[in-house]
Amino acid sequence: MVNSPRWARVSLVLLTLILLLPLLATLLYSLATRWGATMLPDDLTLAWYLKLWSDPRFLAAFGRSLLICFGTLALGTLVLVPLVLVIFYYAPRLDPWMNLLILIPFAVPPVVSSVGLLQIYADTLIGTPWILIGTWFTIMLPFMYRALANNLQAIPLRDLMDAAHLLGASSTQAFIKVVLPNLRKGLLSALFLSFSFLLGEFVFANILVGTRYETLQVYLYNMRTTSGHFTSALVMSYFLLTLVLTWAANRFSR
């Protein structure tokens, strides 16, 4: 940065200001008591945040989102961690096929998937959190698989397994006591990134569940016609939570 040309530093500052301006405006609006035709709001207050965090409907929606996110992350950990270990140790030729498979959630739009799921599970799972856990699992699949795969490629997996076998450990013991500790950073990074992404998922939640099991994003959509100060406080609360999770994920990834 010190040796960079002046135009590069100016461009970086301008780009930062452009990106931060909408966020700062939203933050200021969420703290304003009234903001009309003046350049700045009349006064600042935390009343909108207090109203938001004392709203039982918001707290319930926030709790439901956390519950579904944790359930999805638990399912992903139980399924993908053993799967990735088995693929890289016993069947490494399957890795290219898995790389192709994890692209399917990006190839099929959520709206199209939701229509198909509505027809298949209309009388059973629609409107329940279980349908969201299943669909959100497909969303987190690419993030978690690639994070674990990159982590495994960075460690001598076969050498660790062979050394554990020579010391009398079974394959299961070697996976749990030797390999898993080396996957800790990659797994935590994948979990935090997936959590921050899943918390903002709207399409599946709105179409498959809606108000029958209202999540945070559906609550935000349903409250869009209320006070702009209130919705701005909601948006900033969501942004700060996502920012903390992203920071934690970056810290663990390093």
Confidence (pLDDT) at 69: 92
CATH superfamily membership of 49-253? MetI-like (1.10.3720.10)
For the chain, helix, strand, coil in percent to 5 are 80, 0, 20
pLDDT, one tens digit per residue, over 185-237 is 888 888 888 888 888 888 899 999 988 889 988 998 888 877 788 888 888 88
Is 253 a residue whose pLDDT tops 70?
no
Tokens standing for residue 140 = 């987190």
Confidence (pLDDT) at 3: 58
Burial 76-85 (b: 16+ CB within 10 A, else e): bbeebbeebb
pLDDT, one tens digit per residue, over 144-154 is 898 888 888 88
pLDDT (average), residues 89-93: 88
Of 135, 140, 136, 132, give the one whose Cα is nearest residue 193: 140
Tokens standing for residue 47 = 């009343």
Confidence (pLDDT) at 78: 92
C-alpha pair distances (Å), 122 with each of 114, 127, 207: 11, 9, 12
pLDDT, one tens digit per residue, over 133-144 is 999 998 888 888
pTM of this prediction exceeds 0.85 = no
Is 1 a residue whose pLDDT tops 60?
no
pLDDT, one tens digit per residue, over 41-79 is 777 888 889 988 999 999 999 999 999 999 999 999 999
Is 165 a residue whose pLDDT tops 70?
yes
Confidence (pLDDT) at 5: 75
Confidence (pLDDT) at 254: 61
Categorize the per-residue pLDDT at 182 as very low, low, confident or very high, splitting at 50, 70 and 90.
Answer: confident
Q: List all residues 6 or more positions away from 35 whose beta carbon is below 8 Å from its beta carbon.
A: 28, 29, 41, 42
Please give the residue that has the higher pLDDT: either 35 or 87. 87
Of 85, 227, 99, give the one whose Cα is nearest residue 160: 85
Confidence (pLDDT) at 72: 93
Confidence (pLDDT) at 252: 65
